[in-house]
Structure formats: C-alpha cells, structure tokens
Chain A
C-alpha cells in the first residue's frame, strides 16, 4: 500500500516535471521549427516542407541580417569600451577611496534601471533630436551605456573591493608609484570581475530593444529591431532565425558566467 502511494507520487512528480519541461522548452522548440519551415500553414501541425532557404537568405553577405548583426556588435563593442572607461575609475573610487555620500552615488547608478524606461527614452529621443544626433550609432551607444552602467560600476566596485589591500601596499613599499601599483597589481587582480561586467554590458547592449526603438530609428537597425520588423511584417522565418542568433550569446553566458564571476566578488556586488 505504501509502495503504491509512493509510486503514485513518483508518477505525479514525473508528469509535473514533464509539463514544466514542455512549458519551458516548447516556446523555444516552436521558434526553432519556424526557422527551418519553408512552408507551414493550418491545419498542419508540423511544417509542410523543411529547408534552409531562409537561413541562406539571412546569412547572405549582402542581406539585412548580416548588416544588422554588424551594427549590433559594433554598438555593443563601443558600449563596453565606453562603460569600462567610465566604470573602472568609478568602481575604484567606490571600493577604495574615501568618498562622501557613497551610498547616494551607488544609488545614482541604479536609478536608470529602477524607473520604467519608456517614459525616459521618449524624452532622451527628443533631446537627441534637438542635438541632431538622433538616429546615429553614437546616440544608441550613449543610451546603452547609461543603461548598462549600473552593472559595470557595481561589479567593478565589487571586483576592486575583493582585491587584497596588502598586495597593493607591498607594491608601494617596493617603490611603485600609486599609478604603477594600480596598473600592475590591482587592475590585473580585478580583471576577471571586470571582464564579467564587460560581458554583461555587451549582452545588455546586444539585446536592448526599447532604447534603440526610440533613439535609433530609422537609420540604426540592430538585430532586435530587425527581429521586430520581420515579426510584425509576418515573416516568421526571418524573425525566428534572428531570435536564434540572439539566443546564442545569452545561453553561452548563462553556462559560463560562474567562471568569471567568482563567489567572493558576487557577494560584494551592491555593497
């Protein structure tokens, strides 16, 4: 009797898990099916003909998608550079130097993430329009940097805080200048955390839709905008392939994040 109840529970748990897997994987599977469906219409439950015609169309060197991928990567690289130039000094100041109103400054970097962003972006677009930079790569990079700065500053501060102060002092005692101690000891030791923050900012920029939608149109078409245009134009194949391209870095990041972001750094984020 007890055995029967136990196996009934087992079956129930397994079927719940199967339902969960279906809900979790089903949408992605449907996307993958659309990317290789050359013809798919009702009442067919599965694509009528399969093929890679749309993949060839998307990956054609002269196609829209390759141009958008180029634009997206270029914007993301610039955003990372920009964010690091701003966040390495800021992170060092927050972690190591005596800073008045430190908590307030930490909060300042969080604010752009803590407000509903659409209302902000429409006004940024208006300001950029008056400055004549709306629809340029610069405008998109600026918006992405402001959005990603909380990650890069907070993680950089945590990475610097996790570096042993005695190592810095040892370098200073041996006659290194403060700048030299920073570049030969502190920065290399904090590098894994800073690289992680860079990857974070890169992905945020690659995936960003709302800001680009208001600030970048119509001249700057990143991958998310291409996806949106294809989906709204009814081209499910191109939309699905673009979505799959965007999935690759996200999934890789999820698998490898723990290598870069060590627990001792992670524990200090936001403190």
Chain B
C-alpha cells in the first residue's frame, strides 16, 4: 500500500477542515481586516466610531451577560445541589423531572415565550394579580434588560445544572457523608465540600454559556425592542440599515475580545490550580 496511514488520515479529515476554513477562518480574517483598515491602510477610525455610538451598549452587553451568568450559576448550584444532597425523594424526583425542559428549546422559541409571559398583561403579572400579590395598576412590563436576563437564565440554567449534577454525582460520596455525620448542614457540605471539587465543570459550563449569550441575536431583538440593546442587535442594524461593514466588524472584534476575556479568566484559574500550593 503506497498511501501511508498518516496521509490517509489527513485525506479523510481534509474536507471537513476545508469547510471550517472557508466558512469560519476566512470570514474571521475578513472581519479583522475590515475592522482595522480603510482603503487598504491601517486605521482605528471604525473603533472610534463604534465607541462613540455604542459605548453604552457595550457596557449594557457586558452587564447583562455577566449578570445572567451569575444568576445561572446560582440557580444551577441550587438545582444540582438539591438533586445530589436532597433527602426528600418526592422533591428530588419532581425537580429532576422538571428542570431539564428548557434544555433543547431553541432561543427564538424561548424569546417568544418570554415576550408573552413577561409582558405587562402577560401570564406572570396576571397570575400575581389573581393571587393578590400586586395591584392591577402596579403591573409593569419586564420586556427590557430584565427580560433578556430572565430569558438567558431560563434557557441556560438546565444546561449548567445538567453538567454540574453529572459532576456532583461522580464525586466521592464518603466525604460528603462524613461532613454530614460531623454535623455540617447540607448547605455547608454543598459549599465547602462538594462545590470545590466540581468548580472546573461549573466554569466550563459558564464560559460556554457566556459565549452563547454573546452570540444570540433573537433574544435581545425580540424580548427588548428599545434602547439600550446588545451588541449583536447593533451589528445587525449597522449592516441592514447602512451596509456599514467596517463599524459592524469593529463591534464584532469587541465581542471577540469580551469572550476572550471570559476564556482568559477561565484559563488563569486552571493554571493557578495546577501550580503547587
């Protein structure tokens, strides 16, 4: 056989790589060149314009994504912790059957659900009024930054909780039991014994969620119509309204940097863990 295994392997993997190169690497270079140049020369003009027009939206985007990630982490820890350490079989069973539902629901469907649920006269406000929790006149629409955060947390919590519950299930039960026997409360066992062992999984899930939230166009577009809005919407607007690729790409580079920031935080933690203590 004249073809070595190495060549065969490269030949088999090449078509897939070509597609990724053509539809990801090439457009990525395109976006960098477009963001940093004007008439073939290097310039930062587009970044100046992007900051001038959209600096509020940049802060808004970071705040929304960071808040959503924090709330998602909290909700996922509560759910996964209850699933692992819960003693009431009925509660654990119900939670287990419930929490996964939004997992495979598309973002655009989640957005449409929230558009109706969180509206001024949506099911949430109506239920609160019926239960006597608020007066009809107090009902307000949550279709702004709060709606975006609610949708992100609703959609991403099952994903993070699923990974976290999987990791928690695989750690040594004996340590947790020992902690319980020594009189530590379940909350303390969760925070001090269980969580440190699964921090890596939690961070991976959160970094993936972070990038996902930065990429979603449909949720900010549909849930919150008004200004300020997220950078994804601004990019689409620059293209569709003005055909202004340069500024849109400058905004794109800024979203790369924001997601790179999350990745670096994650990597730094990974490195500091490997270093001898």
Contacts and interface: CB of A to CB of B under 8 A. Distances in A.
A66 interface: no
Nearest to B122: A30
Interface stretch (B92-100, B175-183, B194-202): B92-100
Nearest to A101: B10
A231 B112 contact: yes
Given A99-B6, A118-B236, A126 B112 contact: no
Given A20-B98, A21-B98, A243-B112, A26 B123 contact: yes
Contacts of B8: 93, 97
Nearest to A200: B104
Interface stretch (A55-63, A167-175, A183-191, A202-210): A202-210
Interface in B223-276: 232, 235-236, 239, 245, 248-249, 251-253, 255-256, 258-259, 263
A175 B113 CA distance: 59
A142 B256 CA distance: 23
A143 B16 contact: no
A118 B232 contact: yes
Interface stretch (B22-30, B40-48, B51-59): B22-30
Contacts of B124: 26
A17 B91 contact: yes
A43 B136 contact: yes
Contact of A90 (B12, B26, B215): B12
Given A29-B123, A116-B256, A250-B105, A20 B19 contact: no
A97 B17 contact: no
Interface in A232-267: 232, 236, 239-240, 243, 246-247, 250-251, 253-254
Nearest to A124: B27
A122 B253 CA distance: 12
Interface residues of A, number: 82
Which of A22, A145, A146 neighbours the largest number of chain B CB atoms within 10 Å of its CB? A146
A96 B12 CA distance: 11
Contact of A92 (B12, B19, B25, B251): B12
B113 A27 contact: yes
A3 B250 CA distance: 63
A31 B116 contact: yes
Nearest to A232: B222
Contacts of A8: none
Interface string A80-105: 00000111011011100111100001
B123 A33 contact: yes
A99 B13 contact: yes
B105 A119 contact: no
Interface residues of B, number: 79
Nearest to A152: B16
Q: What secondary structure prevails in chain A residues at the interface with B?
A: helix
Interface of B: 5-6, 8-10, 12-13, 15-17, 19-20, 23-28, 30-31, 34, 88, 91, 94-95, 98-117, 120-124, 126-127, 129-130, 136, 154, 211, 214-218, 221-222, 232, 235-236, 239, 245, 248-249, 251-253, 255-256, 258-259, 263
What are the 6 closest A-B residue pairs judged by CB atoms, nearest first? A119-B252, A207-B106, A27-B113, A97-B9, A123-B27, A89-B12
Interface of A: 10, 13-14, 17, 20-31, 33-34, 42-43, 45-46, 85-87, 89-90, 92-94, 97-100, 105, 108-109, 111-127, 142-143, 145-146, 149, 153, 203, 206-207, 209-210, 213-214, 224, 227-228, 231-232, 236, 239-240, 243, 246-247, 250-251, 253-254
Given A27-B123, A119-B235, 19 more contacts: A20-B99, A24-B154, A30-B116, A31-B112, A86-B15, A89-B12, A89-B13, A98-B9, A99-B10, A100-B10, A115-B259, A116-B215, A119-B249, A123-B34, A203-B104, A207-B108, A224-B108, A227-B112, A254-B101
24 contacts: A13-B88, A21-B94, A27-B116, A28-B113, A30-B122, A43-B136, A90-B12, A90-B17, A93-B10, A97-B6, A99-B9, A99-B13, A111-B24, A116-B252, A116-B259, A118-B217, A118-B232, A120-B252, A122-B236, A210-B217, A227-B109, A246-B109, A251-B101, A254-B100
